[in-house]
Chain A
């Protein structure tokens, strides 16, 4: 049973920690978030050099065949450092789904470019009405023989503005979930990019008679399996943010003086920080449980358990970190608020706590 990173994974995690420490001082991160593009091409190239962008792919596609803990190691460091480059959307969501759903010719063409940093991808699946359920879409695709035509709208597509190509889910005439590949410049596709609350970028994608390549006509199981693995990585990012909030709050409580004492001396606040610590440790345990479940071939329940816990535990740690920092926690001048916003965003993405509790209930069998 694995409950911590092995030596190789830990070394890799250290290299990412160094990347974050060297490039992600909070002031530089603020400048990056406010820039037109919202992330740094130079950072992206560094991530390619570090092997992050090809991490999960097979070696024949320019990857390193790193298993799930390598991805969660990256995500923890990115959550701690508030990294905004579109790693999750390009590699974890779209890259992994492409690797499991696309024919070899497309993988050979695209994955090496993802790995070397010359191609960005996005996965467009969430909609206003999907509420966490990938099987539920209003987008439609019609097969016209030589081509497929896509209609509909996707909301808050992570990295949707910077992607060169995107994977899109849509309903077929038979009511199945199809998976399509769409190029960013194709006629009929409108991309409205915007900043998301955590400072990264997303976009609304509107498809009006858009020509698309069909990768799969019945892809729900593939999409779901990919999302479950991605959930684990997303929650590792949340854990990185929670650990950072814990450390920063602890530090602040020892230096902030009120009533002639450091506020850490007050028992009410000591108990609050003990509860924050408990929330972090619960998430860490469930993260490793999900990693083990994935290694054993079925992480559906473990992924939902983890995501539901991150929803409430992340909310608690974020809210209490703000509360214990007081007024300064309500500003954009410290990274506390940015970690809090990241955790808030993670709860909403890919099905919130309520959705995953419902899914767990649905997966449970009653005899």
Chain B
């Protein structure tokens, strides 16, 4: 099942570790520690992407000819394990796991040559224009219109839940080019610049008080037709390919395992001068152990599914299984982390969580993350296909119901 021998894999692990332990700057490490959702702080994370890109390690899942690493699934898993053990900021998925694969799979030679290197280096940052106010779980019902006029498409409508649109210089979007036939027909995948006349970005304040998502409005925005990826009216196939890529690329356990270990160590610290420790509370010990069981189940499901894949294959509907399991264990983890932080989780510490801020003196840093992380992680069962949609997919595609 493995291309590389165990010995070679161990050597690979040490090579990865040696680089990851020395390459990140202080602010990159800080960004890793202060990541309170799946989206790490923008500036230091993009600086880190550049370092990894220079090393050639930025896109392990891409084919080698386009700048990937050529690693097999086991090597990629090892990379993820070492990466998360060091609590490094997760790279933003938009370039590397969303628009990149779309362009690789469906883009023209010119688009590939022009755009892929800048996605890898982070010179461009892309945001995802998929969801709309009326089109969430039911994405195919999207209405943002693109009408042909001369050599352009003219866009009217809006997009929402566009993560980090306020940081992006490019957008990949699904737009409606025809209303005939099934709603999936008539959708086109477009690439556009964020500074076009008629575009407006409005950040949305999340539960943690920070802008992460945005709404984007289009009013007669002109996009050249050559910015289309794939055929007109066939953007749904591109999106489906990318969604499977997005889900298949998820590795939950490499993140969860070291996070649980950090939480356990946190419980070993004395609460006060009297020296009591949460780790001495049998109930906390049992909850940590129960979470370990859940994480093991995720880890070995991920590994089992990976092992069954041939190179370049997507996990298909099994990705739904992993997404449901992984996101729900992340949520249980966030609940335990919140209970461990206790009262320390209540004061809002937004300033202390900014990169480069002087450490706050109200509560310990690890505890100040617990509430924003808990709140933001509620989204894990909503984004990338809600867990209800994923369960329906499992029932239909795997159980044949």
CB distance from A43 to the nearest CB of B (A): 21
Binding site for A on B (CB under 8 A): 131, 134, 136-138, 141, 160-161, 204-207, 209, 213, 271-274, 276, 283-284, 335, 338-339, 342-349, 361-363, 371, 374-376, 378-379, 381-383, 386-388, 391-392
- A339-367 vs B: 1/0 string, CB under 8 Å? 01100110011001010011000000000
Q: In the complex, A128 Cα to B335 Cα: how many Å?
A: 18
Question: Cβ of B207: which chain A residues have Cβ within 8 Å of it?
Answer: 330-332, 337, 340-341
The distance from the CB of B180 to the nearest CB of chain A, in whole angstroms, is: 17
**Which of B131, B205, B335 interacts with A333 by CB under 8 Å?**
B205
B266 CB to nearest chain A CB (Å): 13
Task: Pick the most buried of B138, B345, B346: most chain A CB atoms within 10 A of its CB.
Answer: B346
CB atoms of A138 and B205 under 8 A apart: no
State whether B342 touches A128 (Cβ < 8 A): yes
Cα separation A339 to B338 with both chains bound (whole Å): 17
- Supposing A268-B388, A327-B161, A331-B213 touch, asked if A195 and B348 sit within 8 A by C-beta, the answer is yes
> For chain A, what secondary structure do more than half of its interface residues adopt (helix, strand, loop), or is it mixed?
mixed
Asked, given contacts A331-B213, A332-B207, whether A129 binds B347 with beta carbons under 8 Å apart, the answer is no
Give the chain B neighbours of A333 by CB distance below 8 A. Answer: 204-205
- Interface pair B136/A258, CB less than 8 Å apart: yes
CA A91 to CA B64, docked complex, whole Å = 68
B160, B284, B376, B386: most-surrounded residue (chain A CB, <10 A): B386
A-B pairs with the 5 shortest C-beta distances? A129-B272, A258-B138, A129-B271, A194-B347, A195-B348
Min C-beta distance of B220 to chain A, whole Å: 26
> What residues make up the interface of A, taking CB atoms closer than 8 Å to B?
126-129, 131, 138, 155-156, 192, 194-197, 202, 204, 257-260, 266, 268-269, 315, 319, 322-323, 326-327, 329-333, 337, 340-341, 344-345, 348-349, 352, 354, 357-358
* A354: chain B residues within 8 A (beta carbon): 283-284, 339
Flag if A330 contacts B378 (CB, 8 Å): yes
Bound together, the chains give a CA A101 to CA B378 distance in angstroms of 43
Note all chain B residues with C-beta closer than 8 A to A348: 338, 342-343, 345-346
Residues on the A chain within 8 Å of B361, using CB? 192
Q: Whole-angstrom distance between the alpha carbons of A156 and B376 in the complex? A: 22
Contact B345–A331 (Cβ < 8 Å): no
Question: Knowing A269-B388, A337-B207 touch, does A197 contact B138 (C-beta < 8 A)?
Answer: no
| Chain A proximity of B288: nearest CB distance (Å) | 13
Further pairs besides A204-B362, A319-B378, A333-B205: 20, Cβ < 8 Å: A129-B274, A129-B276, A131-B271, A155-B343, A155-B363, A156-B343, A194-B348, A194-B362, A197-B346, A323-B381, A326-B382, A326-B386, A330-B379, A337-B207, A344-B371, A345-B346, A348-B343, A352-B339, A352-B342, A354-B283
Residues of chain B within 8 A (CB-CB) of A357 are 283
Q: How many angstroms from the CA of A260 to the CA of B137 in the assembled complex? A: 12
Q: B276 → chain A, closest Cβ, in Å?
A: 6
Contacts of B134 in A (CB 8 A): 257
Asked if A326 and B136 make an inter-chain contact with CB atoms under 8 angstroms apart, the answer reads yes
Question: What is the bound-complex CA distance between A168 and B325, given in angstroms?
Answer: 46
Given known contacts A195-B347, A197-B346, is B271 in contact with A128 (CB within 8 Å)? yes
Among B204, B346, B387, contact of A156 (Cβ-Cβ < 8 Å): B346
Contacts of A266 in B (CB 8 A): 388
Q: How far is the CA of A129 from the CA of B137 in the complex (A)?
A: 44
Instruction: Give chain A nearest CB distance to B375 CB in angstroms.
Output: 7
Q: Measured between C-beta atoms, what is the minimum distance from A107 to chain B in Å?
A: 30
Q: Is the CB of B344 within 8 A of A128?
A: yes
Partner of A126, one of B213, B343, B345: B343
Inter-chain contacts of B284 with A (CB < 8 A): 354
Asked if B138 contacts A344 (CB within 8 A), the reply is no
**Which residues of chain B are near A127, meaning CB under 8 Å?**
272, 343
> Which chain B residue shows the least CB distance to A154?
B343
Q: Is the CB of A327 within 8 A of B348?
A: no
CA distance A329 to B136 in the complex (A): 13
**Cα of A329 to Cα of B375 in the assembled complex, Å:** 11
CB-nearest residue of chain A relative to B392?
A: A268
The docked-state distance in angstroms from the alpha carbon of A257 to that of B132 is 12
In the assembled complex, the Cα of A202 lies from the Cα of B345 at a distance in Å of 12
Nearest residue (CB) in A for B335 is: A315
Tell me the bound Cα distance from A354 to B375 in angstroms: 20
Report whether B345 and A197 are in contact in the complex, using a CB–CB cutoff of 8 Å.
yes
B378 adjacent to A192 (CB under 8 Å): no
Q: Which residues of B contact A156 (CB under 8 A)?
A: 343, 346-347
Q: Closest CB-CB distance, B42 to chain A, in whole Å?
A: 19
> Chain B residues with Cβ under 8 A from A340's Cβ?
207, 378
Q: A192 to B131: give the CA distance in the assembly, Å.
A: 42
Expressed in whole angstroms, the minimum distance between the Cβ of A311 and any Cβ of chain B is 10
Whole-angstrom distance from the CB of A202 to the nearest CB of chain B?
7
CB pair A327–B272 under 8 Å, yes or no, is no
CA of A265 to CA of B53 in the docked complex: distance in angstroms? 48
- Measured CB to CB, the closest approach of chain B to A17, in angstroms, equals 27
> Chain B's nearest CB lies how many Å from the CB of A194?
4
Interface centre among A327, A344, A352 (most CB of B within 10 A): A327
Taking A258-B137, A341-B207 as contacts, is the C-beta distance between A138 and B339 under 8 angstroms?
A: no
* A–B complex contacts, Cβ < 8 Å, 24 sampled: A126-B343, A128-B344, A129-B272, A131-B342, A156-B343, A156-B347, A194-B348, A196-B346, A202-B346, A258-B137, A258-B138, A266-B388, A268-B391, A322-B382, A323-B382, A327-B383, A330-B382, A331-B207, A332-B206, A333-B204, A337-B375, A341-B375, A344-B375, A349-B346
Query: CA of A205 to CA of B391 in the docked complex: distance in angstroms?
Result: 49
Q: Is B374 a contact partner of A344 (Cβ separation < 8 A)?
A: yes
Interchain nearest-CB distance for B47 vs A (Å): 27
Q: A121 → chain B, closest Cβ, in Å? A: 20
| Most chain B CB atoms below 10 A, which of A194, A319, A358 | A194
Q: Contact check: which of A196, A268, A322 meets B378 at CB < 8 Å? A: A322
Choice from B131, B274, B347 contacting A327 with Cβ under 8 Å: B131
**Bound form: Cα–Cα A195–B392 in Å:** 41
Given that A128-B342, A332-B206, A358-B283 are contacting pairs, would A202 and B347 also be in contact in the complex, using a CB cutoff of 8 Å?
yes
Q: How far is the CA of A197 from the CA of B362 in the complex (A)?
A: 14
A327-B213, A352-B342 known; A128 vs B272 contact (CB < 8 Å): yes
